[in-house]
A and B are shown apart, each in its own frame.
Chain A
């Protein structure tokens, strides 16, 4: 263990006072420089040793990593409403209600056939723990994480994000259509059954 040498002489005191004053003056004189909001992969990230480090946040912000886990987004046009995300979610913050389509509703951008409507597709961002599991299981890659991390709300109800593209009336209509189709099918089935009975 080395012995700490106390410097108490007048010269030492003045020397340390001067070096301290020089240090702060140096920082003061370089206050015209600012750190640039660049990402760590940028060449100049570690080169900016001088200048003010504060970023005026809402106006400028450090970029977030490419694979960062922030706010979810669902591209509902590409969603096949398979419910996998809701099942895997550890905190159960995804609520999906599905209605079978009566007609052909096309394919997603990767060619998967869509068969279901989603009258409800809610994600409660206040409950979400941003684990990203739902995005990995999504078969059509329509559920993704965006670089947005600043989305505070005054009313916590607004933290529930609704991704459905159906208005409540449309959803009602689709449900009635489905019911009608099922009734028709049931009637047709009954008719067929009756016809078979008569034959038999």
Chain B
């Protein structure tokens, strides 16, 4: 079972990453009125695969003055950290690679390892651009973990759980099927006194951002912070092609570079998955039950059945792809922030907002019971 989950997770992750790499090129091209890849395969769809194949054929160069051990281990550490994060992601009501009770906490901890890998790569390369990139990257990621962590904390306070699967169940019609939640009820906007129960309505109405509308703000804060955590534009100063060449991975080539590349895109997928699970209803359908038209039930399936796995995977992945599109969209729209603007945004805007959110989320929880 564990092996199966491992295989499913890694293959799913690779497929989504390949799709995102292709989408990145096409979206960028379309936004800039270009065509993007057209030659490799129909509409250039084989391009990302061929890119990886090309990278694997390249020589693995280790600079003479590099710290060889750190240099060699860094890409593997980064990839392992990101991939370990996928372990706690529930794919459907019954399919979760590792159903740990403290999944959110584990995830925050394990993807912080990423920072150590970045620093190892930057330091080990013995190159000033790589070093600068790594330092910027560490400063940025450590800073942005605070608003991101606080935004996640507000979700945890609303849901009263650190388990991704439990949080997922809470956001749909299957809530009462989860052991321990049999007596729970969902109310519209999480306000019990409105007297409108949504436990059996499901769909959009029970997504966290509607179950407790404060989480809508938390979602935006988390999304911005997550862009910074995976070094995406407009927060890509650690990689800033135009000033740092490529940042911490400037000295890498061949297979090791491919690993960085993969880890970076896997990180994007991971943060989007987390955003979907914690804010946008996880694997739950967006369609509510309206009276006799039980859209939510039809598009969920009974837990345990094959239908629920297919529907769950479908909703989770399509919502993730939408968020990934927003990430790409932001990248090809906004210019890069300066270091001071980046820190200003983090410490003076996002952190105070997210502290306020934690407080509000606590108060909102009182309305829900």
Q: Which chain A residue has the least Cβ–Cβ distance from B325?
A: A28
Please report the C-alpha to C-alpha distance between residue A56 and residue B44 in the assembled complex, in whole angstroms: 13
Q: Which one of B27-35, B58-66, B301-309 contacts A?
A: B27-35
Residues of A within 8 A of B32 (CB): 27
Query: Are B334 and A27 in contact (CB-based, < 8 A)?
Result: no
- Is chain A's binding surface mostly helix, strand, loop or mixed? helix
Please report the C-alpha to C-alpha distance between residue A53 and residue B30 in the assembled complex, in whole angstroms: 10
Q: Which of A116-172 contact B (CB under 8 A)?
A: none
Query: Are B329 and A31 in contact (CB-based, < 8 A)?
Result: no
Please report the C-alpha to C-alpha distance between residue A171 and residue B232 in the assembled complex, in whole angstroms: 71
Q: Which of B189-239 contact A (CB under 8 A)?
A: none
Q: Which one of A18-26, A97-105, A177-185, A191-199 contacts B?
A: A18-26
**Known contacts A20-B334, A21-B329, A25-B329; is A56 also within 8 Å of B38 by CB?**
yes
B333 on interface, CB distance cutoff 8 Å: yes
Query: Are B33 and A52 in contact (CB-based, < 8 A)?
Result: yes
Which among B31, B34, B35 is the interface contact of A24 at CB below 8 angstroms? B31
- Is chain B's binding surface mostly helix, strand, loop or mixed? loop
Give the distance to chain B from A19, nearest Cβ to Cβ, in Å: 10
Query: Chain A contact residues (Cβ within 8 angstroms of B): what range?
Result: 10 to 19
Residues of A within 8 A of B334 (CB): 17, 20
Interface centre among A17, A25, A54, A56 (most CB of B within 10 A): A54
Residues of A within 8 A of B30 (CB): 27-28, 31, 52
**Known contacts A28-B27, A56-B38; is A23 also within 8 Å of B333 by CB?**
yes
B178 on interface, CB distance cutoff 8 Å: no
Residues of B within 8 A of A51 (CB): 33
B83 on interface, CB distance cutoff 8 Å: no
Query: Are B332 and A24 in contact (CB-based, < 8 A)?
Result: yes
Q: Which chain B residue has the least Cβ–Cβ distance from A23?
A: B333
Which among A17, A21, A25, A53 is the interface contact of B33 at CB below 8 angstroms? A53
Query: Are A20 and B35 in contact (CB-based, < 8 A)?
Result: no
Give the distance to chain B from A52, nearest Cβ to Cβ, in Å: 5
Chain A residues near B (Cβ < 8 Å): 17, 20-21, 23-25, 27-28, 31, 51-54, 56
16 A–B contacts, CB within 8 A, in A order: A20-B334, A21-B329, A21-B333, A23-B333, A24-B332, A24-B333, A27-B32, A28-B30, A28-B31, A28-B329, A31-B30, A52-B29, A52-B33, A52-B35, A53-B33, A56-B38
In the complex, the 7 A-B pairs of residues with the closest C-beta atoms, listed nearest first: A31-B30, A54-B35, A24-B333, A24-B31, A28-B30, A53-B33, A54-B34
Known: A20-B334, A31-B33, A51-B33. 19 other contacts (CB 8 A): A21-B329, A21-B333, A24-B31, A24-B329, A24-B332, A27-B30, A27-B32, A27-B33, A28-B30, A28-B329, A52-B30, A52-B33, A52-B35, A53-B33, A53-B34, A54-B33, A54-B34, A56-B35, A56-B38
